[in-house]
């Protein structure tokens, strides 16, 4: 999956790059697995903006992904690898032997025509989904459940993977990409392999318009605003903030804790994230 750089025919093209993915199919997506999501542009039910810098973007259809992988014991053929406008990873269309169709996250190395299966009796090969109790230690896994039968929550974006490091009783220990170690129930399911589209992080946007296509609106510096709009605003010309960087509502922007201490899943963390140097 090489990174293609454009010729510098314009300022926007000069720094832009894209991925050429020959494995992607040009077929139309499966119509029975498409739905239209209502756009909210970062607004809540009262019409107030709760998530800034969102809005616009190209029209797109949402692909229904099978996060649970509970169609056990039935082999499925990978019909095609397709692009998904709602996520960084590519998706694979499965045709089960009994006629059912489903989308899954396409792991790295999975190609059209490959057979995959889910369940305890499945072999530990790329694309197969099974409980953590049946996966060999040291394996790379993705689309991992936090709670059994709840659906995949961890390692779903392009190029990510967890490593199954140990099992002890009813729990297994996995290592997150951040270095965090977490205990999970051994009945939680995971898919073997690493998420595909591993070169996604190497793409350079090149121009602001490409972010607008994704529905991302411009970001304005707080120091460029007037005092009533931001704590760092105001002053003649460029001025020093005189305080720590904060959000428009005064919350610390660097180092401030945002994770709720009431999350029950926090009790399963064995080791926190590694400190970045």
Domains delineated in the chain: 20-201 (2.40.50.140)
Tokens of 69: 């992988």
User: Which residues have C-beta within 8 Å of that of residue 261, sequence separation ≥ 6?
Assistant: none
Would you say the pTM of this structure is higher than 0.85?
yes
Across the chain, which has 277 residues, the per-10-residue mean pLDDT values are 89 93 93 96 95 95 97 96 96 96 96 95 95 96 96 96 95 94 96 96 94 96 93 91 90 81 81 67
| 3-state SS class at 110 | coil
pLDDT of residue 277: 45
pLDDT of residue 275: 58
Work out the number of other CB atoms within 10 angstroms of the CB of residue 161: 23
Alpha helix positions (H), the chain: 11-14, 208-213
Tokens of 92: 């694979």
| 3-state SS class at 47 | coil
pLDDT of residue 69: 95
């Amino acid at each position: 999956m090489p990174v293609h750089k454009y010729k510098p025919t314009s300022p926007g093209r000069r720094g832009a790059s894209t991925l050429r993915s020959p494995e992607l199919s040009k077929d139309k997506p499966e119509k029975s697995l498409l739905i239209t999501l209502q756009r909210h542009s970062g607004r809540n039910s009262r019409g107030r903006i709760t998530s800034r810098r969102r809005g616009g973007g190209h029209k797109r259809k949402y692909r229904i992904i099978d996060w649970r992988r509970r169609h056990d014991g039935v082999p499925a053929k990978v019909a095609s690898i397709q692009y998904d406008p709602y996520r960084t990873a590519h998706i694979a269309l499965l045709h089960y032997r009994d006629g059912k169709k489903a989308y899954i996250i396409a792991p790295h190395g999975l190609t059209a025509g490959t057979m995959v299966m889910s369940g305890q009796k499945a072999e530990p090969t790329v694309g197969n989904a099974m409980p953590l109790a049946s996966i060999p230690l040291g394996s790379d896994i993705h689309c991992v459940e936090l709670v059994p039968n709840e659906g995949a929550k961890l390692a779903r974006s392009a190029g990510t993977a967890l490593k199954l490091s140990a099992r002890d009783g009813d729990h297994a220990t996995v290592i997150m990409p951040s270095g965090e170690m977490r205990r999970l129930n051994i009945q939680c399911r995971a898919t073997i392999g690493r998420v595909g589209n591993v070169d996604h992080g190497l793409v350079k946007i090149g121009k602001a318009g490409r972010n607008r296509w994704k529905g991302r609106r411009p970001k304005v510096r707080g120091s460029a605003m007037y005092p009533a709009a931001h704590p760092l605003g105001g002053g003649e010309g460029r001025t020093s903030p005189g305080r720590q960087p904060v959000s428009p509502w005064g919350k610390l922007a660097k180092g401030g804790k945002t994770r709720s201490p009431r999350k029950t899943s926090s009790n399963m963390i064995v080791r926190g994230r590694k400190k970045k140097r």
